[in-house]
Amino acid sequence: MIRVRVHIQGIVQGVGFRPFVYRQAAAHSLTGWVMNTPAGVVLEAQGETPEVESFVVGLRDQAPPLAVIQALRTEGIPPAEDIGFAIRPSGGTGETVVIAPDGDVCVDCLAELFDPADRRYRYPFINCTNCGPRYSIIQGVPYDRTLTTMARFAMCPACLAEYEDPAHRRFHAQPNACPDCGPQLRLLDRRGEEVPGDPLAAAIELLQAGRILAVKGVGGYHLAVDAAHENAVAELRRRKQRDEKPFALMAPDLAALAGYAVCDAVAAKQLQGPERPIVLLPKGRPNRIASLVAPGNGYFGVMLPGTPLHHLLLRDRFGALVMTSGNLSNEPICYKDTETLSRLADIADFFLTHDREIHIRNDDSVIRVFRGQPVFLRRSRGYAPRPVTLPAAQPQVLAVGAELKGTVCLTRGDKAFVSQHLGDLKNIATLDSMEETIRHLESILKIRPQVVAHDLHPDLLSTAYAENRAGLPSMEVQHHHAHLASCMAENSLEGEAIGVIFDGTGYGPDGTVWGGEFLVGGYQRFERWGHLLPMPLPGGDAAVREPWRMALAWLHRLYGEKLVDLSLACPAEVASSDRRLILQMLEKRINTPLTSSCGRLFDAVASLLGLRQKVSYEGQAAIELEALAETSQDVEVCPFDLSEVDGRTVLDFGDMLRIMAEEVGKNLPKAPLARRFHNTLAAAATAVCEKIRAARGLDRVVLSGGVFQNRLLSEELCARLEKKGFQVFTQRLVPPNDGGLALGQAIIAGRSELCV
């Protein structure tokens, strides 16, 4: 007979952990108790030695699906007297409670959902302690029904009995409900009038008939149409004014998905996790998905049903539904019922909605798989607000990111809580969403920041927020330094590392636009060791929307006035008056700010290859260039030039662009050139890292910035660096794009003098 005390930290509260412990203890005939404390779950268990030992192993191995165990410590203590195994009331206040993200319906609830004998048969709000909404319905802490949007639903006797039974899967399941006592589904037309009859059956019929429905999900509304219905998809595109940006798909299950996308075991695991992200999967050919779902793109973004309602909508009815965020372009996803009706009335024909309110909006997460691990393109529903563990505890800070792909980050001890995706902070609606999210996270996590960190760019809405936040000092952080720190932090690195930071746009302290940077540094300082050759950006931001302008800037540099003689897609496809105007700008250096951006280098090459002269969404040219390169096995590397300017290494790809221009002029296949561009960029970056290692003795390289959403470049660069003996670190917990910036800002602020 032995007795142990076990301390467990992580996401172990509000996820059915105590009932799980109770059932495990019963299965091993143990006595003792379990309770929630501010420091996590504490339990004592007593019984036969082998039973106690296998009980402890099971705590980790068989933990409930939504639990994340970060630390489990066991100590032997003297046996004591117990009456059975008890779940004790919580001790202390919830200062260190970690709120669980929203999760999909679990296998047990799913079985009940489709069991005609079950009292929750086809009930869209079925859940238990292992599944269901969390973050999106929580209004305050402690996590208790009265502080969720379920407070207005009084449990019926049957639900209450489950809720109070420690042996039941619904013990203290705060959103517990049934058709008799819980939320109800409704179908509304666009005037807000209720459509009579069974809302679910009617919604399915409408979708089959090609109508556009707004469907209320976990963190907001989706716009749904049948993905096989060409006209419906075209109409949705027209009404949403979204020219080419891909629409996400929802598949009923993996079998249906195999009919149109290529899904390996790693991707399948990600798709099936409780987080239910959108996963980018190569398109399968041929397939029945409407061509306008993801035009000009080699991938479909696919997710599996994320709520019981989605299962009910899709099962046996559709091969896939388009499920795109319910918003107007550039605005955050709609989540409030009344506001949604008015804002989406010109897009949706009908609204499939219900009366369980969403307290905080939370858009879908998007990932792709790289080396068997997810890479976040957007980290949101299912992951937020799960914390990233920092290498060390630090004072509490708030970081507000930059502009694109906004997220905020709050720290407490060694935990950094990165918010859900907020969208591009370019309008008041998105700024409001950011302020709301900051208030919400500060309240439920009980964090009072000492400092607000923000981007160095003076004109951003996030910068204005930080500088105007009453009573708190603000701290500016250079954009690419934040990228470097973000990648170091999630990999628990201390000291200094080499940062290869490739992205689109970031404000440089010298007044130019940075974005192809080789940094050396850590959390407290950094230096710009090298960068891509600064090139004129004709027309500033307009060049971001029109890649041909960057191509022209390169051709102008390489050929001067002779460039008009070249037979290239880039000058040819563009009106000659536009071309002349840009050439004049380049000649006279008017409105041509300099940029070392790597994203703009992708643009120039995509334009030169005749791939794309204008883009309708950020990163489009680079995405299409990567897709083309993936079809080639070319291993050649073009020459590149490294020179010293003002004590910094400048990387010049002029020779490569000249070769590209000449090859394209000969009308040779373009895929090998696209591939060669990736090879050359990787080889050149490796060469710069070797120079830095020779000078500084550093052999750890971190890769960050939006360009590393590119799988092919990441793979090429990692492989080349590793071959040269570097240790390479990439972002796996937060996005490499600006969605991960706030994490870097937060640790830089936390380690700064402002916080000492």
* Shortest Å, Cβ 526 to Fe ion: 15
Phi, psi of 493, rounded to the nearest 5 degrees: -85, 140
CA distances from 684 to 419, 497, 553 (A): 35, 18, 21
Q: In this chain, which of 45, 59, 131, 475 binds Zn ion, going by CB under 5 A?
A: 131
Q: In this chain, which of 6, 52, 128, 627 binds Zn ion, going by CB under 5 A?
A: 128
| Phi-psi sector, 584: left (phi>0), alpha (psi -120 to 50), beta | alpha
The C-alpha atoms of residue 589 and residue 600 are separated, in whole angstroms, by 18
- State yes or no: cis peptide before 286, omega within 30 of 0: yes
Question: From Zn ion, Fe ion, none, which one binds at residue 503 (CB under 5 to 8 Å depending on kind)?
Answer: Fe ion
CB 703 within 8 A of CB 664: no
Question: From Zn ion, Fe ion, none, which one binds at residue 225 (CB under 5 to 8 Å depending on kind)?
Answer: none
The C-alpha atoms of residue 288 and residue 256 are separated, in whole angstroms, by 11
Q: Residue 533, Cα to own-chain centre: how many angstroms?
A: 31
Q: In this chain, which of 12, 178, 348, 656 binds Zn ion, going by CB under 5 A?
A: 178
Question: From Fe ion, Zn ion, none, which one binds at residue 159 (CB under 5 to 8 Å depending on kind)?
Answer: Zn ion
Q: Which stretch binds Zn ion (CB under 5 A): 103-111, 359-367, 391-399, 681-689?
A: 103-111
Measured from the CB atom, the residue of 310 and 528 that comes closer to Zn ion is 310
CA distances from 325 to 19, 174, 221 (A): 36, 27, 6
Q: Which stretch binds Fe ion (CB under 5 A): 87-95, 206-214, 383-391, 500-508?
A: 500-508
Question: From Zn ion, Fe ion, none, which one binds at residue 485 (CB under 5 to 8 Å depending on kind)?
Answer: none
* Shortest Å, Cβ 466 to Fe ion: 17
Question: From Fe ion, Zn ion, none, which one binds at residue 250 (CB under 5 to 8 Å depending on kind)?
Answer: none
Q: Is 517 in the site for Fe ion (CB under 5 A)?
A: no
Measured from the CB atom, the residue of 105 and 250 that comes closer to Zn ion is 105
Q: Which stretch binds Fe ion (CB under 5 A): 101-109, 467-475, 612-620, 731-739?
A: 731-739
* Shortest Å, Cβ 102 to Zn ion: 13
* Shortest Å, Cβ 736 to Fe ion: 9
Q: DSSP code of 359?
A: S
The structure tokens listed for 683 are: 């080889």
Q: Which stretch binds Zn ion (CB under 5 A): 63-71, 130-138, 457-465, 595-603?
A: 130-138
Measured from the CB atom, the residue of 306 and 740 that comes closer to Fe ion is 740
Question: From Zn ion, Fe ion, none, which one binds at residue 738 (CB under 5 to 8 Å depending on kind)?
Answer: Fe ion
* Shortest Å, Cβ 10 to Zn ion: 20
Q: Which stretch binds Fe ion (CB under 5 A): 436-444, 496-504, 692-700, 709-717?
A: 496-504
Measured from the CB atom, the residue of 337 and 503 that comes closer to Fe ion is 503
What beta strand segments (E) does 319-458 contain?
321-325, 350-354, 366-370, 373-378, 387-394, 397-399, 409-418, 451-455
Q: Which stretch binds Fe ion (CB under 5 A): 42-50, 537-545, 552-560, 733-741?
A: 733-741
Which residue's CB comes closest to Fe ion? 503
Q: In this chain, which of 42, 86, 181, 195 binds Zn ion, going by CB under 5 A?
A: 181
Binding positions for Zn ion, 196-225, rule CB under 5 A: none
Mind giving me the DSSP string for 660-721? HHHHHHTT--SHHHHHHHHHHHHHHHHHHHHHHHHHH---EEEEESGGGG-HHHHHHHHHHH
The C-alpha atoms of residue 244 and residue 615 are separated, in whole angstroms, by 9
Please state whether beta strands 350-354 and 213-216 pair in parallel, antiparallel, or not at all (unpaired). Answer: parallel
Measured from the CB atom, the residue of 503 and 624 that comes closer to Fe ion is 503
* Shortest Å, Cβ 425 to Zn ion: 36
Question: From Fe ion, Zn ion, none, which one binds at residue 128 (CB under 5 to 8 Å depending on kind)?
Answer: Zn ion
Q: In this chain, which of 31, 36, 130, 752 binds Zn ion, going by CB under 5 A?
A: 130
The C-alpha atoms of residue 100 and residue 95 are separated, in whole angstroms, by 15
Question: From Fe ion, Zn ion, none, which one binds at residue 178 (CB under 5 to 8 Å depending on kind)?
Answer: Zn ion
Measured from the CB atom, the residue of 277 and 504 that comes closer to Fe ion is 504
CA atoms 624, 626, 631, 632: torsion sign = positive
* Shortest Å, Cβ 478 to Fe ion: 11
Sheet containing 40-47: order of strands: 68-77, 2-11, 40-47, 31-37, 85-87
Amino acid at 670: K
Question: From Zn ion, Fe ion, none, which one binds at residue 130 (CB under 5 to 8 Å depending on kind)?
Answer: Zn ion
CB 348 within 8 A of CB 257: no
Binding positions for Zn ion, 287-326, rule CB under 5 A: none
Q: Is 503 in the site for Fe ion (CB under 5 A)?
A: yes
Give the residue carrying structure tokens 């952990």: 17
Phi, psi of 213, rounded to the nearest 5 degrees: -115, 140
Query: Between 447 and 486, how does the x/- string for binding to Fe ion read (CB under 5 A)?
Result: ----------------------------------------
Measured from the CB atom, the residue of 144 and 162 that comes closer to Zn ion is 162
Please state whether beta strands 727-729 and 700-704 pair in parallel, antiparallel, or not at all (unpaired). Answer: parallel
Query: Between 107 and 126, how does the x/- string for binding to Zn ion read (CB under 5 A)?
Result: --x-----------------
CB 560 within 8 A of CB 554: no
**∠ CA 492-701-719 to the nearest 5 degrees?**
115
CA atoms within 13 A on the CB side of 109: 29
The structure tokens listed for 421 are: 């995706």
Q: Which stretch binds Zn ion (CB under 5 A): 100-108, 144-152, 452-460, 716-724?
A: 100-108
Buried (b) or exposed (e) across 458-477, using 16+ Cβ within 10 A? eebbbbebbeebeebebbbb
- CB atoms near residue 673 (< 10 Å): 24
Q: Is 738 in the site for Fe ion (CB under 5 A)?
A: yes
What beta strand segments (E) does 221-277 contain?
221-226, 248-250
CB 65 within 8 A of CB 106: yes
Q: Which stretch binds Fe ion (CB under 5 A): 22-30, 283-291, 447-455, 497-505?
A: 497-505
Q: Which stretch binds Fe ion (CB under 5 A): 174-182, 495-503, 539-547, 632-640?
A: 495-503
* Shortest Å, Cβ 167 to Zn ion: 15
The C-alpha atoms of residue 72 and residue 31 are separated, in whole angstroms, by 20
The C-alpha atoms of residue 54 and residue 43 are separated, in whole angstroms, by 15
Considering CB under 5 A, how many residues would be counted as binding Zn ion? 10
* Shortest Å, Cβ 129 to Zn ion: 7
Query: Between 134 and 173, how does the x/- string for binding to Zn ion read (CB under 5 A)?
Result: ----------------------x--x--------------
Question: From Fe ion, Zn ion, none, which one binds at residue 369 (CB under 5 to 8 Å depending on kind)?
Answer: none
Considering CB under 5 A, how many residues would be counted as binding Fe ion? 2
Question: From Zn ion, Fe ion, none, which one binds at residue 131 (CB under 5 to 8 Å depending on kind)?
Answer: Zn ion
Enumerate binding residues for Fe ion (CB under 5 A): 503, 738
Enumerate binding residues for Zn ion (CB under 5 A): 106, 109, 128, 130-131, 156, 159, 178, 180-181
